[in-house]
Amino acid sequence: MAEIGSFVLLLALALAAYSFLAGLIALIRKQPGSERLSETARRAGIASFGTVFLGAVVLVTSAFRNDFSISYILHHSNRDLPLPYKFATLWSGQEGSLLFWSLLLSGYGLVLRLRHKTDTRLFAHASVVIAAVQVFFLLLLNFAAKPFAVTQGAIPADGNGLNPLLQYPEMVIHPPMLYLGYVGFTVPFAFALGALAMKYPGEKWIHITRRWTMVTWGFLTCGVFLGAHWAYSVLGWGGYWGWDPVENASLMPWLTGTAFLHSVMMQEKRGMLKTWNMWLVFGTFWLAILGTFLTRSGIISSVHAFAQSSIGDWFAWFLVISLGAFTFFFIKNRSHLRSEHKLESLISRESSFLFNNLLFVLACFTVLWGTWFPKISELAQNTKVTVGPGFYNKVTIPVALLLLLLTAVGPLLAWRKTSLESLKRNFLWPSLGALAVGIVLLALGIKPWNDVSYFYALIAAMLAALVAFTVISEFLRGGRVISRHTGQNLVASIAHLWHRNTRRYGGYVVHFGVALVFIGILGTPFNREAEKEMGFGDKLALGPYTLLNRSYTQEENGNYSSDLAIIQVFKGDKQIDTLYPESRFYTASKQQQHMPAIRSTLKEDLYVVYEGQNPDTGHPIIKAHLNPMVSWIWIGLITMVFGTILSLVPNAAPSRATVRDSVEAGVHVRPAPVGAGD
């Protein structure tokens, strides 16, 4: 199996290299016959997907067959590993995850190359860029991080097993989502660089890549949030975001990618920000690679990082080369990126996008700065420092709140110029609603003057309410107009409204999801916790809950043995649940891992951890956290994903409202063209 795997990866490298070189020559020569050469490059690119796919199949099959003659399988699997995790072996280690990355990149390349008829020349340029990135990853797989390296010496009877932290259902979904996001940004970057290199006229490349970008962003959003949920469900410290360098690495491209999703509308609608968008899409791609460099080079310490290895040098060189190539084409063809329009007013959609981009990029810079500062400090003063959650919370929360404000305000500003009357019409009721939320929270006992975190929570709640109310008011206003024109009921009218401009109204749903996420986050300052050694029948009180230790026991299966407590949860005198917090010991890897038990409601999460045992009494030590509002984060994610899907649905064909319906409804209207964008 190892030989087959190694061979197909070598073949994939040859095909990708051919696709890159032949494609590049065909683009440069522009002579008769170049088209045929370009076509062979395209087909080689398609074939490279087949070979990388085969390589991945070989690795997964080896995991299922317990083929420990392959070193990677020996170190990341074992005989008793449940089947889904055997499948996850593909991305659970350094070499396998690079193969997985390469597979996804080839997959994106396949789709791109199959759709080449949309615009043959632009797609040929993009295909060359994709092939170049493919070559880099396949060089890594063939020479620096070989997934099919054979085990030296005698082959052990069983493998070392998968890291216990990764043995959780979400780890079968989270990495693929994250990688689909990371890798996916290569596609808009490839189109951007291709368009820049060939001085592609107009904004068509943006129209072509719009869906790619949104799909990729959707995957990355899912990946980041699933990572947070995994951390919450598995790490057992009661939180979901620790500002670890690896978490930061996933957040940075998400921030610039989100900025790009917004600023690209400026280019589409107004022909502005062309240079900025080029750099933004390049920055997003570059940050995705930088994140990979961070997690794999060992340059910055993190619990999530892969083992330290020499591939960091490869990534560093790739970062430098890609920056050089992009800068070269930018300098060469920058005259092509001149803006076509001017800005008319500071209170306009355009300037809101400018500030939106500023804040996203600033947030990204802050995260990047905090992530690298320990290294900078080491170089500057020969002293290592820690940059932990306290730093990020202090410097990013104000930026996040400003972004939330723009999320509420920006979409309702008109292009070019917004009148005072329009501001009043759009914001009066949502602002009053947000104010009412603030007053209610104050009445409920939140004292923002006691602690700055309470102050932030209050502001975040009001801003989240403002976002939610503006989104609802937009749907209602538009729905009512449609309803008046067509005589449909309000719900049907809102569906009709969305279908006329799916991106705009899908985007509003995403914004609504963002507001929900903030509602979830703002509960953090009100977290509470308690810890107690609990014998049979002992009680632990936390907030409105009383935990009663009914029993504790040990269980064992082939993969792990576990100590678990049976905790009955009471609210008042009524038992409302039973929780089973565990502490597992994984046999193959000889590592211990907590498995918290979580009782989630919309109001709060009761999060119970089996911390360990008192060696003298043998009683379990139970730690309980009461985390308000956390569920709203995950509901917000689902809403954001739903909004992204809504945005991806093609618009209904532009049509004119029928006069007949309106006349029947007793309303006189002029036919209005619909389907125009925001």
Partner 1 sequence: MQFLSAHARRLQLIPALLAGVLLLLGAGDNSARIDRLGHQMMCVCGCNQILLECNHVGCSYSTRMRDELTAAVTRGDSDNGVLQWFIQTYGTTVLTVPTNRGFNRVAWIMPYLALVMGIALVVFIVGVWKKRPLAIRAGVPATVRGAELDRFREQARKETEL
Q: 356 near 410, Cβ under 8 Å?
A: yes
With vertex at residue 587, the alpha carbon angle to CA 584 and CA 588, rounded to the nearest 5 degrees, is 130
Taking CB under 8 A as the rule, which mask of x and - marks residues 72-111 in contact with partner 1? ----------------------------------------
Residue 580 lies near partner 1 (rule: CB under 8 A): no
Selection from 631, 606, 608, 633 nearest residue 621 by Cα: 608
385 is an interface residue for partner 1 by CB under 8 A: yes
Residue placing its CB nearer to partner 1 in the complex, 435 or 676: 676
Q: How far apart are CA 99 and CA 125, in angstroms?
A: 24
Considering only residues 400 to 439 of the shown chain, the ones binding partner 1 according to CB under 8 A are 414, 416
For residues 462 and 464, what is the distance between their CA atoms, to the nearest angstrom? 5
Contact present, 89 and 154 (Cβ < 8 Å) = no
Nearer to partner 1 (CB atom), residue 313 or residue 451: 451
**Nearer Cβ to partner 1, position 151 or 277?**
277
Stretch that binds partner 1, among 320-328, 362-370, 511-519, 642-650 (CB under 8 A): 362-370
Nearest-angstrom CA–CA distance, 170 and 57: 21
| 118 burial type by CB count under 10 A (0-12 exposed, 13-18 middle, 19+ buried) | exposed
Q: Minimum Å distance from CB 435 to partner 1?
A: 26
Q: Which window, 19-27, 77-85, 347-355, 659-667, contacts partner 1 (CB under 8 A)?
A: 347-355
Q: According to CB under 8 A, which one of 153, 445, 537, 673 is a site residue for partner 1?
A: 673
Q: How many helices (H) and strands (E) does the chain have?
A: 20, 10
Q: Which of residues 241-260 bind partner 1 (CB under 8 A)?
A: 242, 244
302 lies in the site for partner 1, by CB under 8 A: yes
**98, 623, 630, 636: residue in contact with partner 1 (rule CB under 8 A):** 623
Size of the site for partner 1 (CB under 8 A): 68
Q: Which of 381, 420, 653, 660 binds partner 1 (CB under 8 A)?
A: 381
Stretch that binds partner 1, among 123-131, 256-264, 333-341, 459-467 (CB under 8 A): 333-341
- Scanning 200-208, 308-316, 324-332, 369-377 for contacts with partner 1 by CB under 8 A, the matching segment is 369-377
For position 343 contacting partner 1 by CB under 8 A, the verdict is: yes
d(CA 202, CA 441): 50
- Whether 604 and 627 have beta carbons less than 8 Å apart is answered as yes
| Region near partner 1 per CB under 8 A, out of 196-204, 298-306, 434-442, 660-668 | 298-306
Amino acid at 42: R
Is the torsion defined by CA of 74, 75, 80, 83 positive or negative? negative
Long-range residue pairs from 321-327, CB within 8 A, at least 24 positions apart, any chain: 322/285, 322/286, 322/289, 323/286, 325/193, 326/193, 326/282
**In the complex, what is the shortest distance from the CB of residue 500 to partner 1, in angstroms, rounded to a whole number?**
8
Residue 149 near residue 70, CB atoms below 8 Å: yes
Instruction: Report the amino acid identity of residue 574.
Output: K
Give me the least distance between CB of 448 and partner 1, in Å please.
19
By CB under 8 A, name the one of 111, 114, 303, 428 that touches partner 1.
Answer: 303
- End-to-end Cα spacing for the chain: 55
**Whole-number minimum distance, CB 75 to partner 1, in Å?**
20
Neighbour-count burial for 567-596, b at 16+ CB within 10 Å, e otherwise: bbbbeeeeeeeebebbbbbbbbbeeebbbb
Mapped onto helix, strand or coil, the DSSP state of residue 607 is: strand
Scanning residues 468 to 497, which ones bind partner 1 (CB under 8 A)? 478, 481-482, 497
Q: Which residues bind partner 1 (CB under 8 A)?
A: 236-239, 242, 244, 272, 301-303, 338-346, 351, 354-355, 358, 361-362, 365-366, 369-370, 373-374, 377, 380-381, 383-391, 394-396, 399, 414, 416, 478, 481-482, 497, 500, 583, 592-594, 609, 611-612, 623, 672-674, 676-678
